[in-house]
Amino acid sequence: MRMAILGIGICCGCGNGVEALRSALQTGRVAPQEVCLERNGEADRFPTYRSSVEELSEFIPKRALRRIDHFSRMTLLGACLALKDADLLEADRSRTGVVIATGYGTLKTTFDFLDSYLDFGYACSSPTHFSNSVHNAAAAHVSMQFKATAPSLTVTQFEMSVASALLTAQLWLAEGRVDRVLFGAIDEYCEVLRYCRQQFFTDGEQGPIQPFSFDQQSAVVGEGAVFLVLTKAQEYAPYGYIDSVRLGNHLVNAVELPQDDMLIVGADGHKECGRYYAQLLKGREATAYAPLFGSFPTAAGFDLAVAALSLADRTRYPNPAVNGCANDAAEAAGRQFSDEKISCLKFGPGGDYGLIRLSL
Amino acid sequence: MDIKQKLKQVLIEELNLEDVTPEEIGDEEPLFGEGLGLDSLDAVELVVVVQKHFGVEIKDMEEGRPALQTISTLAAFIEAKQQG
């Protein structure tokens, strides 16, 4: 069943809202922020793509946000912006479902809770940190804040979270359980994640992200939230339609790429996944937008937003510049199109893949 | 820093009361409901905060209810426990 995309809300390193995303796509450049951590008397400096959630107080009073952590704030801001974009901020949402995809969940709050437990013991572990540390807390905040009283679900499946969650959204709409779905993809940065990535990837985290250097580790950690307002395909869709969602494993059943589709790949500088893109693309033209928002498991949701915006603008946006130089495919990019289909492909380690196809 | 002042600062930090300054919290202002606007979830957090920052345990509701009325009552409770 096709799903119509009625609105997009985005909050990430390139800014907040559709206009910020469009601007980043047009310029092809988003500079990561430098973070400096003091550890054992040594300064650890590294680039990150962080999100600002200041804008959220335009939608929700500050006092109402005080028990809500950064992960859920990004989630709420993404949802607000998507509803605003779809002109549904004032609509009845009693039959709107909430489906959230996250690779890691509420990392910072989870580790804050564990720290409070380790530092002060059971009696002094923060109950607020505990309640926010459960993976579905953000979805619950969205459901409560927007009175979206239909089902609410959080899917955590690392790199495959977006495709997996999207299948649930599709099912709910097909069954008629809901009229609309607020579909979100969220991941956050935290210091523990930096520490883990440093252990796993050593100095490969200094950037810049080079998505098409498949045999090189060049990922830069990012965070953000992206939301799509989805409904059944009979409605007019300003951002086009999601035609199909496929989830599988390339090593079990090889991916069959649609021949004529424009291709957006989730290559984000992770060498372990890069080899699958290298095997499959074999010189085929593709774009990858990770240098605009960073590397994290649910970045596939941001690729989806880019695809939807490309359809709305009928524009193929260029590959972001790397080291000031455009990729080869940029020659063909930035061009207008009238009736194109777009496939978004994301590989995870071990050959898992999600393939999402969109069209006008 | 006296207990009342420290309590106000800790409350703002731990309960994320971003829209209030320590000076704006009155010593006799009710913590819950009409006053500072805290709720039952904050009461649970407050018990943890008092133990963590002042080393004082609020054992049950009988003890907690009169202590958690205002900054003054809470400060007096902490002081009494620390001295006892």
Cβ contact A128–B41 (<8 Å): yes
Q: Is residue B39 classed as helix, strand or coil in its secondary structure?
A: coil
Question: What radius of gyration, in Å, describes the C-alpha atoms of chain B?
Answer: 12
B58, closest residue in chain A (CA to CA):
A123
Under 8 Å CB pairs connecting chains A and B tally to 28
With beta carbons less than 8 A apart as the criterion, state whether A86 and A181 touch: no
Q: Which residue in A66, A124, A127 is closest to B16 by CB distance?
A: A66
Q: In the prediction, which pLDDT does A74 show?
A: 98
- The domain spans of chain B are 3-83
Contacts of A123 in chain B (CB under 8 A): 48, 51, 57
- Give B50→chain A minimum CA distance, Å: 9
Cβ contact B52–A127 (<8 Å): no
- Give A131→chain B minimum CA distance, Å: 11
B49, closest residue in chain A (CA to CA):
A124
B50, closest residue in chain A (CA to CA):
A124
Domains of chain A listed by start with CATH number: 3-359 (3.40.47.10)
Q: In the prediction, which pLDDT does A329 show?
A: 47
Length of chain A: 360
Exposed/middle/buried for residue A211 (C-beta within 10 Å: 0-12, 13-18, 19+) = buried
Interface test with A, best of B16, B24, B53 (most A CBs within 10 A): B16
Tell me the ipTM for this assembly.
Answer: 0.80
Block residue for tokens 């590294």: A46
| Contacts for A325 with CB less than 8 Å, ≥ 6 apart | none
Cβ contact B51–A63 (<8 Å): no
Contacts of B52 in chain A (CB under 8 A): 120, 124
- The separation between the first and the last C-alpha atoms of chain B, rounded to the nearest angstrom, is 21
Whether the CB of A118 is below 8 Å from some CB of chain B: the reply is: no
CA separation for the pair A26, B17 (Å, rounded): 40
What's the token pair of residue A56?
Answer: 């959220």
| Contacts for A113 with CB less than 8 Å, ≥ 6 apart | A125, A126, A129, A130, A133
Q: In the prediction, which pLDDT does A147 show?
A: 95
Cβ contact B16–A67 (<8 Å): yes
In the CATH scheme, what is the code of domain B3-83?
Answer: 1.10.1200.10
Interface test with A, best of B41, B48, B50 (most A CBs within 10 A): B48
Q: Which residue in B18, B44, B52 is closest to A62 by CB distance?
A: B18
Q: Which residue in B19, B41, B44 is closest to A63 by CB distance?
A: B19
- pLDDT tens column, B20-53: 999 999 999 999 988 899 998 899 999 999 999 9
A116, closest residue in chain B (CA to CA):
B52
Cβ contact A127–B57 (<8 Å): no
- pLDDT tens column, A113-161: 999 899 888 888 888 899 999 999 999 999 999 999 999 999 999 999 9
Contacts of A144 in chain B (CB under 8 A): none
> What is the pLDDT tens value at each position of chain A, 360 positions in all?
999 999 999 999 999 999 999 999 999 989 999 999 988 888 989 999 999 999 999 999 988 899 999 999 999 999 999 999 999 999 999 999 999 999 999 999 999 999 989 988 888 888 889 999 999 999 999 999 999 999 999 999 999 999 999 999 999 999 999 999 999 999 999 999 998 988 888 767 788 999 999 999 999 999 999 999 999 988 789 999 999 999 999 999 999 999 999 999 999 999 999 999 999 998 899 999 999 999 999 999 999 999 999 999 999 999 997 655 554 544 555 677 766 899 999 999 999 999 999 999
| Contacts for A36 with CB less than 8 Å, ≥ 6 apart | A43, A44, A45
Contacts of B60 in chain A (CB under 8 A): none
